[in-house]
Structure 1
């Protein structure tokens, strides 16, 4: 995948919008390009009622989550509606976050019990005391053999991967992503305690409200939070609801993938000042062509043809209910900044385990202001 460049977001939306009809692409290919949920606004909790009152002739209803739903004739205009009141209230569209590999492609299966292909050695089954906890906000997490016997597996449980949500007999675009990311963490920090939280669909999509709710739930329960999805915004500013939650993570570290758009536009939440944004490098240490870059990026790590734990649909398996598919466990290769970010999260975990400050990583090549 050397020198691979990312798919245009407009191409991706055009290809998949028939399956995900609530997507609105604002300013395609322009400087304010952003992907949002149709007809949805999100306000700071204190601003929900004032915003709804000011926009009452355009509002259909307000949900208990705080989302403000616009009337159907305005479903394609949440960016403009939010801009009309943003100078008075903390409000924005509900931005759609995309999983980092979504613009590059699906994984390449390289080995499993039914394939005669050498696989990497499974991570050693260590347990650190005191524990260092990494919260992985991603797709599902499957009981891959790499995770067997680890205490956190029984303590926190699993939310298995959804591999074929539409029952078309083929894996969804980001199926198995959370299992792959978790494998990278434990390859590099085998004694870490993982706490998994599903935020991404098997198509690799989530949004501001889902990410903010997960950060709120996990607050105070993890030393490091790892996010592998993100978004651009029309204003190039962090969505207010995310900024509000990230401000409460000052006692822990948040690591996020810088995104796969090959641009220097801020990608949120990675570009937030409280977050360590991770770009992907090639084997020679140069920034991968697909990786976002810029002064807001804090760290780099390998992100091309990374090998990790994976789960896939068994070939020719029968069509069954989502989540109950016949599965095969093995390893795969995948590229993207979301496979660079877990390496940095693991480095930070190793430092916490060694009673060092997160900024004192010995591998300064992996963490620190990169040359982009």
Structure 2
């Protein structure tokens, strides 16, 4: 990903130990503390936009990382950019580009007597033949993927990602009730504010969510979880599962490294750790994440084509673990509040 391709993003400390993507010139502020923050940072503020969280836009000559670091007493944080990153094609032959393959038979149609609901935060979901006849499809309204955000006639790099992830869950938990909330663009981008706001809206919606799947993440300059996101994760009563990232490092990757989240690394078909996968003591479990086959949607000059693809990345290991946890909840063997019960487990 390059800054010239995504306006408004900035790479902090390129090539250095605190390299991370941020929204250029943005700080996030808890609304309740906005007057105090405005009084303290007035000389750097250009304007403030208020919704579920306040976005404070700084003057062009202000560095948001430095401003936040210089005021540790204020409830402000940089607006970090989360990305969907898939495995390197050099390492595994498929990796960064989904490769079309023949569509396998659809997972069986099941309806669990006691619903177990899995919420997927991703790019959306298309009316793939695997999904359209399921009882849950469309119940939360349209969440169709946007495949060509920039309108150039070519599918974007992460087009079809949410449809693919949904297929992974369905293959391993066919009776689960699946919900979607679109937080990622088809370029694979989101940020703290978007994710935190989605978690808050889902919580306020009132439906019980048993498992939440997050297939994205970021590094931060101070290697701490972005505060806005951390507050929403602390308030979440669901089991949260997140991809450990594909940066091949032990450096914490958020939200996966948050203590309340089940961080999932990827393995190869032989069961070995995938070289691209995040690793370290903050990773709780692993699952297959190389050459995964699942449902996919492709953009053609005249329509969308539904089939299957082969893809690699920790974002495809995470939904495998989410499906395993959903099945355990269905079988009464996994109390949803005890997320650390999966530490060290390997979903194969």
Q: TM-score with structure 2 length normalisation?
A: 0.92
Which of the numbers 110, 135, 154 marks the counterpart of 1:151? Answer: 135
Does residue 64 of the first structure (1) align with residue 50 of the second (2)?
Answer: yes
Which of the numbers 213, 219, 224 marks the counterpart of 2:211? Answer: 224
Change (3 A) 1:38 1:248: same
Deviates more, 1:33-42 or 1:47-56: 47-56
Does residue 109 of the first structure (1) align with residue 66 of the second (2)?
Answer: no
Q: Offset of 1:49 from its aligned partner?
A: 2.6
Which of the numbers 344, 350, 353 marks the counterpart of 2:330? Answer: 353
Q: What residue is the counterpart of 1:81 in the other structure?
A: 67
For the 8 Å contact 2:329–2:336, the answer to whether it is kept is no
Q: Distance in 2 between matches of 1:179 and 1:341?
A: 14
Q: What residue is the counterpart of 1:368 in the other structure?
A: 343
Does residue 49 of the first structure (1) align with residue 35 of the second (2)?
Answer: yes
Q: What residue is the counterpart of 1:128 in the other structure?
A: 112
Which of the numbers 156, 159, 174 marks the counterpart of 1:172? Answer: 156
Q: What residue is the counterpart of 1:195 in the other structure?
A: 179
SS of the residue corresponding to residue 296 of structure 1 reads coil
Q: Distance in 2 between matches of 1:359 and 1:287?
A: 27
- Match runs of 1:266-305 below 5 Å: 266-305=252-291
Which of the numbers 224, 246, 265 marks the counterpart of 2:233? Answer: 246
Q: Distance in 2 between matches of 1:271 and 1:358?
A: 21
Q: Offset of 1:370 from its aligned partner?
A: 6.7
Change (3 A) 1:285 1:358: farther
Does residue 91 of the first structure (1) align with residue 76 of the second (2)?
Answer: yes
Q: Distance in 2 between matches of 1:360 and 1:245?
A: 16
How many correspondences in the alignment?
Answer: 333
Q: CA RMSD in A?
A: 1.9
Q: Distance in 1 between matches of 2:272 and 2:243?
A: 17
Q: Offset of 1:59 from its aligned partner?
A: 0.2
For the 8 Å contact 1:158–1:196, the answer to whether it is kept is no
Q: What residue is the counterpart of 1:331 in the other structure?
A: 308
Change (3 A) 1:48 1:369: farther
Does residue 263 of the first structure (1) align with residue 249 of the second (2)?
Answer: yes
Q: Offset of 1:163 from its aligned partner?
A: 1.1
Q: What residue is the counterpart of 1:116 in the other structure?
A: none
Q: Offset of 1:62 from its aligned partner?
A: 1.2
For the 8 Å contact 1:107–1:334, the answer to whether it is kept is yes
SS of the residue corresponding to residue 356 of structure 1 reads coil
Q: What residue is the counterpart of 2:92 in the other structure?
A: none
Q: Distance in 2 between matches of 1:43 and 1:167?
A: 33
Q: Distance in 1 between matches of 2:121 and 2:140?
A: 14
Does residue 181 of the first structure (1) align with residue 165 of the second (2)?
Answer: yes
Q: Offset of 1:102 from its aligned partner?
A: 7.9
SS of the residue corresponding to residue 68 of structure 2 reads helix
SS of the residue corresponding to residue 211 of structure 1 reads helix
Structure 1 unmatched runs, 5+: 1-11, 112-118, 319-325
Q: Distance in 1 between matches of 2:49 and 2:336?
A: 41
Q: Offset of 1:252 from its aligned partner?
A: 1.5
Q: TM-score with structure 1 length normalisation?
A: 0.86
SS of the residue corresponding to residue 225 of structure 1 reads strand
For the 8 Å contact 1:173–1:204, the answer to whether it is kept is yes
Deviations 1:19-42 (A, max 9, x none): 312111011121111110001001
